[in-house]
Structure 1
Amino acid sequence: MLAAMSSAALRPSSQATAVSRDRGDACPGTLRLHAADDGALARVRIPGGVLTLSQAEALADATQRLGDGDLHLTSRGNVQVRGLADGCGAELAELLTSAGLLPSRGHERVRNIVASPLSGLDGGGMDGRGLDGQGPDGRGLRDIRPWLSALDAVLCASEAAQALSGRFLFALDDGRGDLAGLDADVTLRAVADGGAQLGLGASDLALHVSAEDAPRAAMAAAEAFLEAERASGARAWRVAELALADDELTAAVGRRLTAENISHERQVRETARTEGPLPGAVGDALSVHIPLGRLSAPQWRELTRTTTCELRLTPWRGVVLPTPGASAAQGAESLARLAAVGLVTDPDSPWLRVGACIGRPGCAKSRADVRADATGTLGAVGPRGLPLYWSGCERRCGHPRGERIDVVAAPEGGYRLSVEVPGGEPRTVPLDDPSQLAAALTAITP
C-alpha cells in the first residue's frame, strides 16, 4: 500500500513521486524465495550481467536439478529460477555459493548493477572521443569492467548497504548512453574528459568525479540516499520516492563525497542516448535476443559453447557473447547455430518489440496465458514502432522503461491496449480476441 507524503517543491525534471512504503520490499532473492503458482521462485543477482562459463553451467544445473528446467532473464540482467520445490532453498544457496554467485548473504538482494554490455568489445575507448560525448559511431568511451568489479566489492563491504531495497538500481554506462533511459537510482556515466558523471534517478543534475573515484562515489550516493530516507521518517525504495528536490539530494550526495575526500563538481547531466545492442555480430562479440526472456537449458548451453570466456546478460533480455579472435565466417556459423535453437539473431525480428510477464499458469493474479497469446500473435507485429508488453493484470510486472503499448488482460476477458499520448490522456482500445491484434494496433497508433 502506498501513502502520500508531504514534499518539498520538486523540480519538474525529477519526475519524482514522493511515497512512503509501510513495509519492507518483498523482492525475492536466492535466500528469500517467492511463492508462485508454479512453485517457489529465486532471483539470482548477476552484477553487470556478467557470468563466467562455470557460473553459467551452475545456473543451468540448478534449474535442471531443482527448478522447471528453464532460466528466466529479467529486465535488470538477472536470472530467475522458477518451479522450485519446497525445502530446496539450502541446496540452491549452497550450489550458488560454490559457484561464486552468492559472495555475501547480507547483500545478495542489493547487488543490482547493470552495465553497458558491449563495453570493451566494440572498439570504443578514450582514443576515439566523439563530439557528442560518445565514442566513435556511438560506441563507449571507457571499458567499465573495473568500475563493475570495484562497485560490487564496495557494495558488499558496506554494512549500511544491506538496508537498500531489492529494487534499488546502480547503472554503469560506458559513455554510449545505452543505460541512460533506465533512470537508475545511481548512474555512473563515462564522459569525454576521462572522468565520470554521477547521476541520481531521473534528475538533470550530475556530479563530476574522477574515473578512479567513480565506484566509491556511487556507493557514497547510495549511502546518502539511505541517510535522506531516515531523515524523512518515511520508508522509500527508490530515489524517485524521496520527498526531495533534485538539488537537495544532489547537495546531500555532494556533502557525503566531501566527507569521504572525493573531489566533485556539479554539472548538467549528459543526455545523449542510444539503444541496446541489436542481434548479430558487433565488434568482438555476438548479440542475441531471448524471446520473452525464457531460456531452456539446451539453449543456455549453446550460448556457453559459443563464447570462450563469459556471458553478458543485458537489461533488454538479451545476451552478449564475447568472441575475441573469431573470424567473420566463424561468427556467421555461430549465429546460425544459435538461431537453430530458437534464439533471435535477426535485427529485424518482431520479437525485439514483444515482451510479457509470466502470466498463467505461473501467476495466480494473471487473468490470461499472456505468453501464449504474445507468441500466437507475433505475425501481427512489425519490426518497427513502439514495443508491446503483455501483462496478465494491471501490475504489469517486468514492464520496460519508456514508451510502449501496454496489452493488459481485462477482468471481463480479452485485453485492453493502451498507449501514453504526450500532453493528453492515454489512448485505449479493447482487444476482445488476440487474433484481432493487427486491427487493434492500427486503431491505437493511427
Structure 2
Amino acid sequence: MLADLRRDRAPAPEALVAFAEGLADGSVSDAQAGAFAMGVCRTPLGAAGRAALTRAMRDGGEVLHWSLDGPVIDKHSTGGVGDCTSLVLAPALAACGAFVPMISGRGLGHTGGTLDKLAAIPGFRTEMQTDELQSIVSRVGCAIVGATADIAPADRRLYAVRDVTGTVESLDLIVASILSKKLAEGLEALVLDVKTGSGAFMPDPADARALARALVETSQANGVMTSAIVTDMSQPAAPACGNALEVIAAMEALTEPGTRRSARLVALVRALGGEALALGGLVADAAAGAEKIGAALESGAAAEVFGRMVQAQGGPSDFLERWRDRLPAAPVVAELRAEAPGVVAEIDTRVLGEVVVELGGGRRREDDRIDPTVGISHLAQLGAVVTDTQPLARVHAADGDAAAGAAERVAHAIRLEGGAVTPPALIGETIR
C-alpha cells in the first residue's frame, strides 16, 4: 500500500482496511503510519477509499448497539469559539424523542472542547464505560462523554502521528478521524455543523463546503443518514467564550426564554436540531423539526432533560434550580469599553479563542490544566451599535494583570465602523 502512495496511486480499499487493522492492533509502526499520512496528503484516497478507511477505523474498536424505542442521533461540530451548542442541543433532541449518545472531545488550540465546558459543573463525570453510557442514554435520553480507549483505537494512533508530521489538515484523514468515532456510537442519523469564518478550523468557505460534502458522502456510504449545515463562525456562537461562561450561556438558552438568552445560539440549535429530527424520521422535514426543538426549549422540557443528565453523570441534583450558585466564577472581572461610538464591523474570532487559552481556559498541550472560570462574556455582536458607555466585552481572569493583557488583545480583535453593518448569515448551505 505504501508503495502505491509513493507512486501517487490511491491504495485499494482492501489495503486500507488491512492498514487500519494494523493501526488498531499495533502491527503497523509509527514510522509506517507517518509515511501513510504523508502519502495521503499527496495522493487523496477518493470517495471509495475514504469510506473504506473510515469503516475499518470504526470497526477496529468497540461499536455500540442499541435497542431503544426511538432513533439514535448525534451532532458533530468541526470546532469553533464560544460554541456551547451541544449542551443545549443534546437535551433538546432527547426531549423530542431521540436518543443521543454524544461522544465529545476536549479543547486543544483556539477552539473549546465540550468536555471542558461540562467539567465546570461540580462533580460532572465524562469518563465512563460503555455499559454506563448506554444505561444513562436509555433512562435520560442523552449523555455527553469522552471516548474510551476501546473506541476507534486506530484513530488515536493516527491522530498522534498526524500532529507531529504536519498532516493534520488532510481532508481524507480529517473525515476518517471524525467519523470513525462518531459512527462507533451506533447512530441512525448524524447532523454535521461545519464552521467557516475567522474562528473556524477551516475559515475559507470553499474548504468548509468541500469538507462538508466529504463528510456527508462518507457517512452515508457507511449506512448513516447524514446532513451537513455550513454555519458562520465570524463571531462566537454565543456571546461568551470560556468554560463556565459558556455553561451559563447554555443554561440561559435552556431556562430563560426572552432577552437573556442568545438568539444566535438558539437559532443554531433549532437549525441543527430540526435537521437531525428529520433525518431520524421524527418529523416530516427540517422546518417542522426546528419548530419542535423550539417548543422543547420554550416549555422547559429540554432543560428538564439537561438537569437529569447532570445528575446521572455525577453533578448536583439541584443544578437545574441553582445553576448560577453551582458554577465557579473568576476573582477579577474587567469591563472593556469602546474608545468612541461605532458599529461592530469585524471580530477576529480566532484571537478571542487564543485569549481564552492565554487566560488559562484552554490548552496548548494535552496535559495543560484548565481554569474553568476565565474567559470573555457580554461580547458585542457584529452589527451592534455601541457607545463609549456600553461594554464591548467583559474579561474574566485570575488576576488584574491577566485581565488587562486580555482586554488589550480583545480590543484589537474588534473593529468598529461608522455606518451600518450586515453580518454574514448564521445558517448557510445544507448538504444532504
TM-score (norm. length: structure 2): 0.28
Identify the structure with the greater helix proportion: 2
**Relative contact order (alpha carbons < 8 A, sep ≥ 6): 1 or 2 greater?**
2
Identify the structure with the greater strand proportion: 1
TM-score (norm. length: structure 1): 0.27
